[in-house]
Amino acid sequence: MVVVETKVEVKPLELNPQPLNSLKKVSDMRTIIGKVNFVGFDCVVVKTQYVENDRTALVLEDVNDGATVATATVNIPNVDLAPDEVLIKNYSENDGMLNTLINAGIVEKSDRKVCNGFVTIPICKLLF
């Protein structure tokens, strides 16, 4: 049996830190517009904005500790939206988000939708 030794140089991984999300976290850009229960968490619905284009973003935060439970919207810059319209992420870990927000009186579903990859994203009118 022959044993061959090789040396491998291990270089540290260089990370390019990026924000975990693209939402403004400035207090004057945040407004609580409602309360919902989503996947067992009591949440406040916070209206804020996406950094890239100042479109409305909706974030669900735990009422007890303020942790983000879910981001209810998606930002697709090339989709034409009115100022009072949002794209609701109602798939994957956000399954059920649309009905939760409709039942809370926060959004109203329109007949418009956007196909993005393998999912269809409803365009909704923001009621606040």
Q: What is the layout of strands, in order, in the sheet containing 68-71?
A: 31-38, 41-49, 56-62, 68-71
Which long-range contacts link 41-46 to residues 24+ away (Cβ below 8 Å)? 41/69, 43/69, 43/70, 45/72, 45/101, 45/104, 45/106
Tens digit of pLDDT for each residue in 11-62?
444 443 334 455 544 334 789 999 999 999 999 999 999 988 999 999 999 9
Task: Judge whether residue 98 has pLDDT over 60.
Answer: yes
Task: Judge whether residue 8 has pLDDT over 80.
Answer: no
Tens digit of pLDDT for each residue in 73-86?
999 999 999 999 99
- The domain limits of the chain are 27-126
Task: Judge whether residue 113 has pLDDT over 80.
Answer: yes
